[in-house]
Structure 1
Amino acid sequence: MKQLAETFWNLRGVYRVGGVLDIGTHMSIVRRPDGRYVVIDGCALDEPQRRALMALTGDGALVGAVVHVHPFHTLHVEATHRLFPAAALYGTARHRRKAPSLPWAGTPVEEWGGDHPLADVFDLSVPDGVDFVCPDERVHVASVLVRHRSEGLVHVDDTFNVVAAPGILRGVLPQSSLRMHPMLARGLKQTAGAADAYAAWARRVAVEWADTRIVCAAHSAVRTLPAGGFREEVHAALARVSRTLERHRARHG
């Protein structure tokens, strides 16, 4: 577990594709102004990670809320709830369908407006132009992006990626800049205007969150940015998928 700011911690977990390639996953922990904590997402914890997390949060008693923000990140929802059973539990509609016995609070996270339950610390954004839950369940383009407003940190699952080499190569090979999800073409809605809506959303986030200094990406690394770097890298990521967007426009309008 790494402290990235005064009130923000990120914990990296293992997630293997096909049981072999570790593309990583994560969870974040944020201390609110009242001293209580919000846990974003969940992942498998080894014993040192579990001890560190519980030590930070008063053996879990100081966790006031757990929020799951990617509809297809469901493997560790129940285990995370067992760690923090007294915390208010928030998730997407798909989380609720997959774990209906859990005590879900409020409305699905993807439906939250500006007055959402965690608005004292977080700005949220859901990408336009893509299916939030794609009919092809192998496609995980969309999620609810979470920005810690005062610290300038973004927690994101899948929608933006940071590619980093595995194992000992990570210290030798440079990580990538921000990238759009590689299956964006299959995540776009099959309707006219979807490509333009997605591009407009990306440009809007790049401007509104321009002072972001760190991006915690589930797959597969934390990226530290210079001043203005978030806006530049989101624009560059959008430029890299321009042909994907043009093909969609040619087909759907």
Structure 2
Amino acid sequence: MAGHSKWANIQHRKGRQDEKRGKIWTRVIREIMVAARLGGGDLSINPRLRLAVEKAKAVNLPADTVKRNIDKATGNLEGVHYDEIRYEGYGIGGAAIIVDTMTDNHVRTVAEVRHAFSKYGGNMGTNGSVSFQFKNVGQLILAPGTSEDKVMEVALEAGAEDVITGDDGAIEVITPPSEFEAVRNALEAAGFKPEIAEVTMRPESTIELTGDDATRMQKLLDVIEDLDDVQAVFHNAEIQQ
């Protein structure tokens, strides 16, 4: 559900993550390995690896597992080589979907993603077919009831681009990817604990889906997210639960 400020959708997403903790660990390990392979194993000079290690801590991944996989990725231990591949397509009602994967078998991954799209009412697109509808940003979402004025003061001072309050009272802070860590650290230092804090693909506009369309879209997203090689799914649907 990345990219949306609807509180019910956020809670649904967090519930889904709690249900599949083992799968979350696998995804975090892959992110650690790719980040370390691309940028080295030194957290002080590799911001992507820092974020991956923080994700690992958030889901209680053991520290020795983190270190072992950094060592694998940087050549200190023998490990599997993962490539990052992005797929794009359309869901119910023409909603745009981006699927980020990490895989050691390209043929398997594209076949599984294409099958999920076609079986559950979507269509695979070509590279660039929907990504222009999204922007790569840092996103922090705080619970309804949080002081909008205080969040805005802290976030904008730290380098945020925008602060948006949703109809349900949730507060969304948008940052350039390069300023994400600084803004998050400033918010936490001021006593704010974001429910969601990540660098993501945020849709520039959304499509509202209700009733049967909402149910079908959620099923499509769930099936794609459950594929072994999928790391993240982004879309522009506002799903009314």
The reply to whether TM is greater than 0.5 is no
Normalising to structure 2: TM-score of the pair?
Answer: 0.31
More helix, by proportion: 2
Considering Cα pairs closer than 8 Å and 6+ residues apart, tell me whether 1 or 2 has the greater RCO: 2
